[in-house]
Amino acid sequence: MARKDITGHHFGRLTVLYRNTAIVDNRNSSWVCRCDCGTVKSISRTCLVSGDTQSCGCYRNDRIHETLFKYGSKTLPEYRLWSSAKRRCTKINDPRWAYYGGRGIRMCDEWMQSFAAFYTHMGPRPAGLTLDRIDNNKGYEPGNCRWATRSQQNKNRRPFKT
């Protein structure tokens, strides 16, 4: 029995390019597809037609990424740094509050409301660097924060009172 040619059809993020004749399976044909992300992958006709496979796997990764930002994954080092900075500025019972919120250091509203906004501005934390405010008298906000080494942070301190 001849199988229907599905070349050119779209299934989710996948566009069927041609039938994969290298894989011979009497029960199911295999089709080479290009995903919207550019990945080319061979997928069985059954998985395409049933809707079980709608991307090369990038859709799943995108959903995981969205979920991390929506709920602020506590496993991300950037999330822990953001959360810690936020706590120093807002929680009187934080041991370091006197040096931050107690002296007027605040986090901008955009970052206060959204870890995703913070991450969009700052990007991923390079290994070995920590969150630093460029001007210590200003708050945590775009343009005043950077990823810095411990050495940079030590040089960027308020003078000690004697």
Q: Whose CA is closest to 56, among 7, 8, 11? A: 11
Looking up tokens 């706590």, which residue turns up? 87
Q: Where are the alpha helices (DSSP H) in the chain?
A: 45-50, 58-71, 77-90, 109-113, 115-122, 150-155
Domain extents for the chain?
A: 10-59, 72-155
- Global pTM? 0.56
- To which residue do tokens 């934390």 refer? 125
d(CA 115, CA 137): 23
Mean pLDDT by 10 residues, the chain (162 residues): 79 92 73 92 90 86 66 74 94 94 95 86 90 94 94 81 60
Structure tokens of 66? 């969205």
Cβ proximity of 5 and 19 under 8 Å: yes
